[in-house]
């Protein structure tokens, strides 16, 4: 294919990605070092109230935004260097918390709280998703051909559901005396309040995520199980291998590329955990990195959006993505070299 | 044929079946349960006794419920609708869509099927049952308390139909644009073995991993002030991009593009290159070969990729909630706004009904396109 034809085919897509992915990245990078805010002036205001014989006058200094001729607030953009990053990271508070050795104090700083939860969420759900996915795939593979279709249909439902809605539906089952909380209370014979402390909410979020992603893993592993060489399994049986040995020595190595693929996708996606915080209305207890950026971007009560802080927290989030991507890129590069 | 050596003992088969049943229960339960809840009065919906939630005594006492007759007829309508959709619709779409517009045909058909079902179920069915109830005696007495008033509140009073229309506009825009841009790119990338093509794919992979909030942080200041910086080019009537569905469509298409081109490239790679070479020998240009020879055999791949684009656009919360204002909100952010003012339990059940309304189209989608979704998932995995 000639370069010219190639460009014609690929051009529109590249243009969209440059315009709407690469350019915003630059904009975020720039914004994280600059702050745009209204210009304030301090004026001396004398206010007098009527009193007996003479007025009582007080003068005070007031800060107010400067307005231009059109009555719009004048804004100016200022280079602040790493100041915004310092505001987001709150290093001095972190330092204090570290010297006092108090974990709870660290957990009061938004960024570190979000980072802690995001990493823990990612690492805890990863093995569960792979494990449950593999289990479900083998169960489906074991079922008779007649029921496989309906079973796959039901399995796809948690995967396909809108994440916010999925989290909400789990939320409704547990919130207050929801049906599953009532069941757990009856079963454990004790009173439960699942939304009153952070760790139970985190647990529910992880349960939700595993429920949501395990079907995806299961479908992929199920497809992989169809290509396991039956002859080698059969000869393993004849050699006296137990079921566990067959699973460990034949099936899992065969599925290994798929397991790595699922793990990679899951790492990328769960690092971006966000919808759970919205769906569980957990922002008072648990927040994630992406939610932090979202919160900065939302207008506050005065209608201002902290674009600069959001950009800084977005840049910090991307450091994590870069770390996650290195092994994936290495693998793709190796494959590419291998195919040529 | 399973050989004798691989035959499993009965105990293992039973255990495996039992666990599979358990998984199906876990997978379906939350969705099924909120569906049941959405038809009950608030007292019943949040009752801690599951039987009360299912049979809804308080709702029945309130005077609304379903009799055996209504349940049987309702199930029959659902069954027939599902049957017709699965059996007839694909062939109808294939025969009636004008050549080259099959995807559009699917979109139109899906909308038509949805509307027809809503009309039959909520419009026609009550009339029929009202006529029949006096004739059947005890079968016509209410046994399960159920009410559709929450759906009325959601769709009529709370203006959810506007949100639905917005969702429809955004998803339709995203699917068509991202497929038309993506098929071209996917084909180009699949047929070019150059290093440049490889690097484009790598960069796309990196873009795929970016959190969406990062990108939105980049758009927001630009979009809000767009009237200012677009005015030198467009003059007086430069639009503010913030709050415009078109801007959201462009953003979602771009976000979706890396995934789309990876997936389409893997589908195109499966089509032998001999096919377009033969067309080229016969004197077709690259574009003509693409349009006349490759596209006709690519429809399964395009439909599958379209499904995933649809899911991304339909399920999105982050981008739409930040870039659209309240007047043209899509469904998912709208429901988030709904539960923020959720003070009474009635409001909660209304939110549940809204959630079920959002899920219903997805349910239909899986029903019709199960095979394509599975093939899409596995195609992505096998090709990495």
Whether A14 and B196 have beta carbons less than 8 Å apart is answered as no
What number of other Cβ atoms are within 10 A of residue B285's Cβ? 11
Which whole number is the average pLDDT over A271-298?
A: 82
H or E stretch covering A77: strand A75-79
Residue B24 and residue A274: Cβ atoms within 8 Å? no
Of B213, B218, B222, the CB nearest to A294: B213
Q: B237 or B325, which is more confident?
A: B325
- What's the pLDDT band for A131 if we cut at 50, 70, 90? very high
Widest pairwise Cα distance in chain A:
113
Q: What own/partner pairs with CB < 8 Å and gap ≥ 24 does B35-41 have?
A: B35/B356, B37/A172, B37/B349, B37/B352, B38/B150, B38/B151, B38/B349, B38/B352, B38/B353, B38/B355, B38/B356, B39/B146, B39/B147, B39/B148, B39/B150, B40/B145, B40/B146, B40/B147, B40/B349, B41/B145, B41/B147, B41/B349
Test mutation, B186, B199, B214, chain A, max A CBs within 10 A:
B214
- CATH T-level fold of A103-339: MetI-like fold (1.10.3720)
Query: A216 to chain B: which residues are within 8 Å by CB?
Result: 377
Q: Collapsing DSSP states into helix, strand and coil, what is residue A58?
A: strand
Please give, rounded to a whole number of angstroms, the shortest distance from the CA of A307 to a CA of chain B: 7
Distance from CA of A106 to the nearest CA of B (A): 24
Q: Are A10 and B30 within 8 A, CB to CB?
A: no
Q: Which residues lie below 8 Å from residue B133, measured CB to CB, with a gap of 6+?
A: B67, B69, B70, B140
**Å from B73 to nearest chain A CA?**
23
The pLDDT of residue A1:
67
Assigned domain for B113 exists: no
Tens-digit pLDDT profile for residues B157-167: 777 888 888 88
CA-based nearest residue in chain B for residue A316: B214
What's chain B's average pLDDT? Answer: 79
Q: What are the DSSP calls for B35-62, one per residue?
A: HHHHTS-HHHHT-SSHHHHHH-HHHHHT
B201 lies in which domain range? 159-384
- Better pLDDT: A140 or B89: A140
The residue ranges of every structural domain in chain A are 35-78, 103-339
Q: Is the pLDDT of residue A273 over 50?
A: yes
**Using a CB-CB distance cutoff of 8 angstroms, which residues of chain B are in contact with residue A332?**
202, 205, 384
Per cent of chain B over pLDDT 90 is 0
DSSP 8-state class, residue B108? H
Alpha-carbon gap, residue A56 to B333, rounded angstroms: 53
What count of Cα atoms within 13 Å lies in the side-chain half-sphere of residue B325? Answer: 10
SS3 A45: strand
Confidence class of residue B100 from pLDDT cuts 50, 70 and 90? low
* Closest of A253, A276, A277, A252 to residue A133, by C-alpha: A252
Whole-number percent of chain A with pLDDT over 70:
94
CB atoms within 10 A of CB A309: 22
Is A163 in Cβ contact with B205 (below 8 Å)?
A: no
Whether the CB-CB separation of B206 and B281 falls below 8 Å is answered with no
Whole-number CA gyration radius for chain B: 25
How many domains does one find in chain B? 1
- Residue B195: closest CA among chain A residues belongs to which residue? A336
On the question of pLDDT at B282 being above 60, the answer is yes
- Mean pLDDT confidence for A283-295: 82
Per-residue model confidence as pLDDT tens digits over B40-98: 777 777 777 777 777 777 777 766 767 777 778 888 888 888 788 777 777 777 777 66
Confidence of residue A132 (pLDDT cuts 50, 70, 90): very high
Nearest Cα of chain B lies from the Cα of A154 at a distance, in angstroms, of 6
Smallest CA–CA separation between B39 and chain A, in Å? Answer: 15
Question: Which residues of chain B are within 8 Å of residue A13 when distances are taken between CB atoms?
Answer: 181-182, 184-185, 257, 261
Residue B384: partners with Cβ closer than 8 Å, 6 or more residues away: A257, A261, A332, A335
Classify residue B141: in a domain, yes or no. no
| Residue A338 pLDDT greater than 80, yes or no | no
Label residue A303 by pLDDT band (50, 70, 90).
Answer: low
Per-residue confidence at A210, pLDDT binned at 50, 70, 90? Answer: very high
Query: B24 and A156 in contact (C-beta within 8 Å)?
Result: no
Residue A41 CB contacts under 8 Å (≥ 6 apart), including other chains: A63, A64, A65, A66
pLDDT of residue A310: 80
Is pLDDT of A148 > 50?
Answer: yes
For chain B positions 68-127, those within 8 Å of chain A (CB to CB) are none
Residue B16 confidence (pLDDT) above 80: yes
Does B335 lie at the interface with A, CB-CB under 8 angstroms?
yes
| Cβ distance of B258 and A332 shorter than 8 Å | no
Predicted confidence (pLDDT) per residue in A212-247, tens digit? 999 888 888 888 888 887 888 888 888 877 788 888
Pairwise CA distance, residues A3 & A11, whole Å: 11
ipTM of the complex: 0.82
B211 pLDDT more than 80 = yes
A115, A130, A160: best to mutate for the B interface, most B CBs within 10 A: A160
The DSSP secondary structure of B127-162, one letter per residue, reads HHHHHHHHHHGGGGSEEEE---HHHHIIIIIS-HHH
Q: Phi and psi of B284, rounded to 5°? A: -85, 150
Summarize pLDDT for A85-98 with one digit per residue, the tens.
777 777 777 777 77
* Conformation bin of residue B137: beta by default, left when phi > 0, alpha when psi is -120 to 50: left
Q: Which residue of B has its CA nearest to A168?
A: B355
Give dist(CA B332, CA B336) in Å, integer: 7
In this predicted structure, the answer to whether residue B384 has a pLDDT above a threshold of 50 is no
pLDDT band at A128 (very low <50, low <70, confident <90, very high): very high
The 10s digit of each residue's pLDDT in A152-168 is 888 888 888 888 888 88
Q: Are B215 and A310 in contact (CB under 8 A)?
A: no
Nearest-by-CA chain B residue for A220: B378
With an 8 Å Cβ cutoff, is B365 touching chain A? yes
B255 touches chain A (CB under 8 A): yes
Beta bridge partners of A75: A38
Residue B284, domain CATH = 1.10.3720.10
Cβ contact, residue pair B5, A238, below 8 Å: yes
What residue spans of chain A are helical by DSSP H?
Answer: 3-17, 23-31, 83-89, 91-100, 103-106, 110-142, 145-160, 163-174, 179-188, 198-225, 230-238, 243-246, 252-271, 275-279, 289-297, 307-339
Per-chain mean pLDDT for chain A: 80
pLDDT(B368) > 90: no
A228 torsion bin: left (phi>0), alpha (psi -120 to 50), beta (else): beta
Rounded to an integer, the average pLDDT of B172-182 is 88
Out of B53, B194, B374, closest to residue A152 by CB:
B374
Q: What is the average pLDDT across B115-127?
A: 80
Q: Is residue B134 in a domain?
A: no
Give chain B positions within 8 Å (CB) of A25. 210, 214-215, 218
Which chain A positions have a beta carbon within 8 Å of B42's beta carbon? none
Task: Grade residue B383 by pLDDT with cuts at 50, 70 and 90.
Answer: very low
Residue A155: closest CA among A138, A172, A168, A170 = A138
**Which SS3 state, helix, strand or coil, does residue A61 take?**
strand
Residues 272 through 311 of chain B touching chain A, CB cutoff 8 Å: 286-287, 290, 311
**DSSP line for B110-132:** HHHHHHHHHIIIIIIHHHHHHHH
Residue B285: closest C-alpha in chain A:
A5
The minimal CB distance from A272 to the residues B211, B286, B317 is found for B211
Q: Which of A7, A15, A19, A24 to mutate to test the interface with B (most CBs of B within 10 A)?
A: A24
On whether residue B132 sits in a domain, the answer given is no
Longest dimension (CA), chain B: 80
Q: Does B229 touch chain A (CB under 8 A)?
A: no
Alpha-carbon gap: B217 to the closest alpha carbon of chain A (Å)? 6
Average pLDDT, stretch B305-321?
86
Among chain B residues, CA nearest to A326: B206
Contacts of residue A190, Cβ cutoff 8 Å, sequence gap at least 6: none
Please give the Cα distance from B170 to A146 (Å, whole number).
Answer: 38
Residue B274 lies in a domain: yes
Please state, as a whole number, how many other Cβ atoms lie within 10 Å of the Cβ of residue B81: 16
Answer yes or no: do B211 and A318 touch at CB < 8 A.
Answer: yes
DSSP structure string for A135-183: HHHHHHHHS-HHHHHHHHHHHHHHHHS-HHHHHHHHHHHHSTT-HHHHH
Distance CA B178, CA B175 (A): 5
Which of B209, B250, B349 should one mutate to test binding to chain A, selecting the residue with the greatest count of A CBs within 10 A? Answer: B209
Nearest to B53 among A179, A315, A328 (CB): A179
More confidently predicted of B2 and B356 = B356
Cα–chain center distance at A59: 51
Of B72 and A55, more confident: B72
Interface contact A24-B322, CB threshold 8 A: no
**Is B7 exposed, middle or buried, given 0-12, 13-18 or 19+ CB atoms closer than 10 A?**
exposed
- Look at A157 and B182 and tell me if their CB atoms are within 8 Å: no
Query: Given an 8 Å threshold on Cβ–Cβ distance, is B214 in contact with A314?
Result: yes
């Amino acid at each position: 294919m000639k370069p010219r034809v190639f460009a014609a085919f690929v051009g529109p897509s590249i243009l969209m990605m440059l315009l709407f992915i690469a350019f915003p990245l630059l904009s975020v990078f720039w914004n994280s070092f600059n702050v745009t805010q209204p210009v304030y002036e301090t004026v001396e205001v004398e206010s007098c109230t009527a009193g007996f014989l003479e007025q009582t006058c007080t003068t005070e200094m007031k800060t107010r935004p400067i307005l231009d001729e059109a009555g719009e607030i004048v804004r100016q953009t200022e280079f602040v260097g790493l100041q915004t990053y310092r505001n987001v990271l709150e290093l001095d508070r972190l330092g204090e918390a570290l010297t006092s050795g108090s974990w709870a104090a660290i957990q009061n700083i938004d960024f570190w709280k979000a980072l802690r939860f995001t990493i823990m969420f990612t690492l805890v759900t990863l093995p569960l998703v792979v494990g449950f996915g593999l289990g479900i795939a083998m169960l489906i593979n074991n079922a008779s051909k007649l029921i496989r279709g309906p079973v796959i249909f039901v399995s796809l439902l948690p995967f396909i559901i809108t994440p916010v809605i999925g989290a909400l539906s789990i939320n409704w089952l547990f919130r207050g005396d929801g049906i599953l909380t009532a069941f757990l209370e009856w079963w454990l014979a004790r009173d439960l309040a699942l939304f009153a402390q952070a760790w139970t909410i985190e647990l529910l979020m992880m349960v939700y995520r595993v429920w949501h992603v395990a079907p995806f893993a299961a479908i992929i592993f199920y497809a992989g199980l169809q290509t396991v060489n039956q002859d080698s399994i059969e000869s393993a049986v004849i050699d006296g291998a137990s079921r566990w040995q067959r699973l460990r020595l034949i099936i899992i190595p065969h599925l290994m590329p798929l397991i790595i693929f699922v793990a990679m996708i899951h790492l990328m996606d769960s690092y971006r955990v966000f919808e759970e915080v919205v769906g569980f209305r957990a922002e008072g207890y648990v927040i994630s990195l992406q939610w932090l950026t979202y919160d900065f971007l939302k207008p506050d009560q005065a209608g201002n959006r902290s674009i600069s802080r959001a950009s800084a927290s977005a840049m910090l989030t991307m450091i994590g993505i870069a770390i996650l991507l290195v092994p994936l890129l290495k693998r793709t590069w190796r494959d590419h070299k291998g195919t040529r | 044929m399973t050989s004798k050596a691989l035959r499993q003992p009965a105990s293992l088969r039973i255990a495996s079946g039992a666990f599979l049943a358990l998984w199906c229960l876990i997978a379906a339960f939350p969705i099924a349960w909120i569906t049941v809840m959405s038809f009950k009065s608030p007292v019943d919906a949040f009752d801690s006794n599951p039987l009360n939630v299912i049979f809804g005594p308080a709702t029945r006492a309130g005077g609304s419920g379903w009799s055996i007759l209504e349940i049987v007829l309702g199930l029959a309508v659902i069954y027939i609708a599902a049957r017709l959709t699965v059996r007839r619709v694909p062939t109808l779409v294939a025969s009636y869509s004008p050549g080259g517009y099959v995807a559009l045909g699917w979109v139109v058909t899906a909308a038509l099927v949805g509307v027809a079902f809503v009309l039959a179920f909520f419009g026609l069915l009550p009339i029929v049952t009202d006529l029949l109830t006096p004739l059947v005696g005890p079968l016509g007495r209410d046994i399960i308390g159920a009410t559709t008033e929450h759906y009325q509140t959601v769709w009529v009073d709370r203006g959810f139909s506007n949100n639905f229309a917005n969702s429809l506009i955004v998803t339709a825009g995203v699917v068509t644009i991202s497929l038309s841009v993506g098929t071209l790119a996917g084909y180009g990338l699949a047929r070019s073995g150059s290093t440049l093509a490889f690097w484009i794919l790598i960069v796309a992979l990196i873009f795929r991993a970016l959190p969406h909030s990062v990108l939105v942080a980049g758009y927001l200041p630009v979009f809000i002030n767009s009237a200012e910086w677009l005015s030198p080019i467009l003059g007086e009537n430069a639009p503010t991009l913030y709050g415009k569905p078109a801007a959201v469509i462009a953003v979602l298409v771009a976000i979706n593009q890396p995934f789309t081109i990876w997936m389409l490239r893997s589908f195109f790679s499966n089509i032998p290159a001999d096919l377009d070479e033969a067309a080229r020998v016969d004197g077709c240009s690259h574009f003509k070969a693409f349009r006349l020879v490759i596209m006709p055999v690519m429809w399964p791949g395009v439909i599958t990729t379209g499904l995933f684009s649809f899911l991304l656009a339909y399920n999105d919360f982050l981008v739409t909630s930040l870039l659209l204002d309240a007047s043209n909100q899509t469904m998912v952010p709208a429901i988030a706004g709904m539960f923020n003012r959720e003070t009474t339990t009635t409001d909660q059940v209304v939110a549940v009904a809204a959630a079920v309304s959002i899920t219903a189209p997805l349910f239909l989608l899986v029903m019709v396109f199960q095979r394509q979704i599975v093939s899409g998932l596995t195609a992505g995995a096998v090709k990495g």
